[in-house]
């Protein structure tokens, strides 16, 4: 009888944990797909961002595949002789939040955001997406790099090629070919990297640009690599 009670108790705990995990996934899905209101602006969207060499990689951590981050999973990565700097998905997280929260996006001036991960896969992120605000919820994405937090893994995203909203079926993120194929003919590409020896004011480019020029900021976000013409 005691064994039966113990089994029943473990079963209840297991069901409770499953319900809690399901509720968490639904909460994250709702959080990610909630749209940010954009104030009306007379100008057409004239700015795109390309985040280069995003360190969004899978790793086998705690007996399962996850999109690792080099801070929380540092010890596990070192035990596997892997460099934690190659798994800094949090850099992409910070960069995306900065772009999505920027006044440029608030006024509807950002037309597209592209994220190119280190293995070459390329994602387009819609500028009205609201990504998870914390790293633990983001670290599964792409990934957003954004994916395990959203309820699916990177492999599934690559197979399905896109993530849509449940209510409107609108595409929020999608796997695409090289971003240059999607850029307007009047684009002006500007490289930005923390490794550059020259500091500039980003607003100078925006304020000085003609209305018929589509600005494209290519941002190097890898901790281990420099931004090059071939990146």
Instruction: Give domain status of residue 231, yes or no.
Output: no
Is residue 192 within 8 A of residue 217, CB to CB? The reply is yes
Q: Would you say residue 164 lies in a domain?
A: yes
Domain tally for the chain? 1
Whether residue 14 is contained in a domain is answered as no
CATH number, domain of 84, equals 3.40.1280.10
Which domain, by its residues, includes 201? 34-220
Query: Which value, in Å, is the radius of gyration of the alpha carbons in the chain?
Result: 20
User: Is 187 part of a structural domain of the chain?
Assistant: yes
Please check whether residue 21 lies inside any domain of the structure: no
**DSSP secondary structure of 72-136:** TTHHHHHHTT--GGGG-HHHHHHHHHHHHTSHHHHTT-EEEEEEEETTS-EEEE-TT----SSHH
pLDDT of the chain, 231 residues: tens digit per residue? 444 344 444 344 344 433 443 443 444 344 433 444 444 444 555 789 999 888 888 788 888 877 788 888 889 999 999 999 888 888 888 888 889 988 888 888 888 898 887 767 778 888 887 776 766 656 555 444 444 333 444 545 545 556 555 565 656 666 666 656 667 788 888 888 766 677 777 777 777 777 788 889 988 887 655 544 444
Q: Which of 228, 192, 225 is nearest to 88 (CA)?
A: 225
Query: Containing H/E element for 3?
Result: helix 2-33
Q: Is residue 149 part of a domain?
A: yes
Q: Is residue 174 part of a domain?
A: yes
Q: C-alpha angle 41/112/218, rounded to 5°?
A: 115
Q: Would you say residue 9 lies in a domain?
A: no
pTM above 0.75, yes or no: no
Q: How far apart are the C-alpha atoms of 126 and 172, rounded to whole Å?
A: 5
């Amino acid at each position: 009888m005691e064994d039966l009670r113990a089994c029943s108790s473990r079963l209840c705990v297991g069901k409770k944990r499953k319900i809690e995990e399901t509720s968490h996934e639904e909460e994250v899905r709702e959080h990610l797909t909630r749209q940010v209101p954009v104030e009306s602006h007379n100008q057409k969207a004239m700015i795109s961002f390309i985040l280069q060499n995003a360190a969004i990689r899978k790793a086998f951590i705690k007996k399962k595949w996850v999109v690792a981050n080099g801070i929380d999973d540092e010890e596990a990565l070192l035990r596997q002789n892997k460099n934690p700097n190659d798994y800094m998905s949090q850099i992409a997280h910070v960069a995306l939040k900065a772009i999505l929260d920027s006044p440029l996006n608030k006024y509807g001036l950002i037309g597209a955001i592209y994220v190119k991960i280190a293995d070459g896969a390329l994602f387009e992120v819609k500028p009205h997406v609201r990504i998870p605000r914390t790293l633990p919820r983001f670290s599964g994405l792409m990934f957003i790099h954004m994916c395990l937090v959203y309820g699916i893994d990177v492999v599934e995203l690559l197979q399905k090629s896109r993530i849509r909203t449940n209510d409107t079926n609108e595409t929020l993120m999608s796997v695409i070919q090289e971003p240059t194929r999607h850029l307007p003919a009047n684009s002006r590409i500007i490289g930005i990297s923390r490794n550059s020896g020259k500091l500039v004011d980003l607003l100078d480019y925006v304020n000085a640009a003609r209305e018929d020029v589509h600005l494209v900021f290519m941002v190097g976000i890898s901790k281990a690599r420099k931004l090059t013409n071939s990146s």
